[in-house]
Structure 1
């Protein structure tokens, strides 16, 4: 659980930094928003920053459930790179695509990366691999199926203020990565 705990520690440290920034009126300094070029560091900081302690605890709980299972299959470096990359991609998708459907908003949190880890577990296990190998679905059909699965997984978290696009993009990235065994070191 080393990489999982390190990820939680990074989120806690960023949370402490957020608290200090909030005291001086700069709470939004770590949140990702458009235009991305205005504060490029937020592509990464927003993955570890959270809107509240409850938000951090919710993401942390799910991370503690799925993180160690993914860790068993990969290296610490790959785990951290996957969390940072999928979290950043999910956040970028949320702020860019979300702005097309409503007013632009900022995004914070590990949930896109957590959905990616969960997707990795769903698509990267022996049972799923056997099923896909037997069905012999073409890559496009698998892609479409992963898109549907990502939407279904995202629907379970639908609520006001939830970054649904980020959840769907994270789940989709994880499903695709799991199917190809991106993190597996075997």
Structure 2
């Protein structure tokens, strides 16, 4: 029986959140050091990964879990387990790094007063949604039919990423992470990066979705 990477990821969410809550009661500073991504990045480099699976509270955990379930179960049938997890970690980490670096730039320019503290999987989840949007047969067929130049395609996806990001705008939301996540998903979807060349055992043939 094939293991579900979506369920595995949700399980990691739950374990990390339980650990966060426990450590917060014992030593809030330790919980911060283990899971919160912030500048400078080289001080606690492990948080580039651990922050992807950590959350600020129940509502944050629930919203990301629901969003992951909506896209994850559909997408995992079209890729391999290791590709799914690698894509999730890499896109989540890159999105978080961009959020921190962008905020650090704004801080240096005096446009914000505090550095970014990043927690959550939304960058990775947005990348999964971006992959589904850009990598499906309908989108590919439409772009091929229109015959858009690659530069215009990049502009189109950039505008779409901005619109998606603005639709999620709210106080405390890591909008740069969302934007970068969607862009990464769009790019990966157009290149079909999650499509396995050598499917795992029990992996059904890759359908054109």
Return the TM-score normalized by structure 2.
Answer: 0.86
Could you say which structure has the larger radius of gyration?
Answer: 2
How far the C-alpha of 1:100 sits from its partner, in A, is 2.3
The residue number in structure 2 matching 1:68 is: 73
Q: Which residue of 1 aligns with 2:129?
A: 118
| Structure 2 equivalent of residue 82 of structure 1 | 87
CA–CA distance in structure 1, aligned partners of residues 195 and 76 of structure 2: 9
Query: What is the TM-score normalised by the length of structure 1?
Result: 0.96
Q: Match of 1:47?
A: 52
Partner of 1:158: 169
In the alignment, the residues of structure 2 paired with residue 83 and residue 129 of structure 1 have an alpha-carbon distance, to the nearest angstrom, of 23
CA distance in 2 between counterparts of 1:148 and 1:171 reads: 11
1:138 aligns with 2:149: yes
Structure 1 residue aligned with 2:43? 38
Q: Deviations over 1:54-87 (max 9, x none)?
A: 1010000010100111111100100000000000
Partner Cα separation in structure 2 for residue 54 and residue 25 of structure 1: 20
Q: Which of 24, 28, 31 is the equivalent residue of 1:25?
A: 28
Equivalenced residue count is 186
Unaligned 5+ segments in structure 1 are none
- Equivalents in 2 of 1:139, 1:183: separation in Å? 21
Structure 2 residue corresponding to 1:92, chosen from 68, 83, 97: 97
Q: What's the C-alpha RMSD, in Å, of the aligned pairs?
A: 1.1
- Aligned-partner Cα distance in 1 for 2:145–2:115: 44
Unmatched 5+ stretches in structure 2: 107-111, 197-205
